[in-house]
Amino acid sequence: MTFDASCLKYDSAGLIPAIIQDADTSMVLMMAYMNREALEKTLATGETWFWSRSRQKLWHKGETSGNVQKVQEITCDCDRDTLLVKVKQTGAACHEGYFTCFHYRINPETGQTEVIGEQQFNPEEVYGSKCQPEDNPPAAGVSGSAPAPGEEEKLVHEDKETAPAANALILEELFQVIKERQEKRPPGSYTAKLFNKGLDKMLEKLGEETTELIIEAKNRDREEVVEESADVLYHLLVILAEQGITPAEVFAELAERRKDD
């Protein structure tokens, strides 16, 4: 297999999106990012490698689950800024146990999502009840495991190694995880617990976190202000999900205000 990687157009972070497609059915399985090294390792090994933006490191698809992807063909689009990788998929591509990551159908009338396809494996059996797949770290504040004793009402803070990428896109990523928790209500999920208790509890928690932020800001405790700000944003996103409002609507309102500023 030969491929002139020098012709590709990587973004400012040195990354290029890679669409992964089943070679037999043409079903789109997933989308991830590659850098030059990931592409080189993919070509050298015949299995897909990607660059994790959240952990800032290479990862081999299937390194935890065993669901590797055998590369059959790699092409790029006419602009040379996107890759199409055709593979033979072992097991399921999605860390939630489905053959494709695109297993949520959006209802055009309600805007709600519904699962399509059959789950091929139980993620907890593959990754463990407290362990997320290495290539799909959880978003901050939405751990699927039960809170530690004495911390029932506190968010689970990710360690720095698995924390999501530090940019504004995490708000949309976090919102999507919150929506998933709202729909599936997995046991032990703090987010699901909030939805189960209803709007009054959500508002109470937002009020508590806002008060804590005010106190820490008054104390000029930089680290605590950062943490409490994250708590406020998280609880605000939960309320937006409960109200059927997307972050994009809030961003649009901010954009309008910016024009008038």
> pLDDT digits over 157-198, tens only?
333 333 444 566 788 889 999 999 999 998 889 999 999 999
* Token pair 């005010």: residue: 214
Of how many residues is the chain composed?
261
Phi and psi of 184, rounded to 5°? Answer: -95, -25
Please count the CA atoms within 13 angstroms of the CA of 89 that sit on its side-chain side: 23
Residue range(s) of every CATH 1.10.287.1080 domain in the chain: 138-260
- Class for the domain spanning 9-133: alpha beta
Residue range(s) of every CATH 3.10.20.810 domain in the chain: 9-133
In this predicted model, what pLDDT tens digit does every residue of 18-48 receive, in sequence order? 999 999 999 999 999 999 999 999 999 999 9
* Token pair 């400012």: residue: 12
| pTM: predicted TM-score of the whole model, two decimal places | 0.52
CATH superfamily of 138-260: MazG-like (1.10.287.1080)
| Residue 212 structure tokens | 């804590």
Q: How many Å apart are CA 101 and CA 92, to the nearest integer? A: 9
| Residue 105 structure tokens | 């159908």
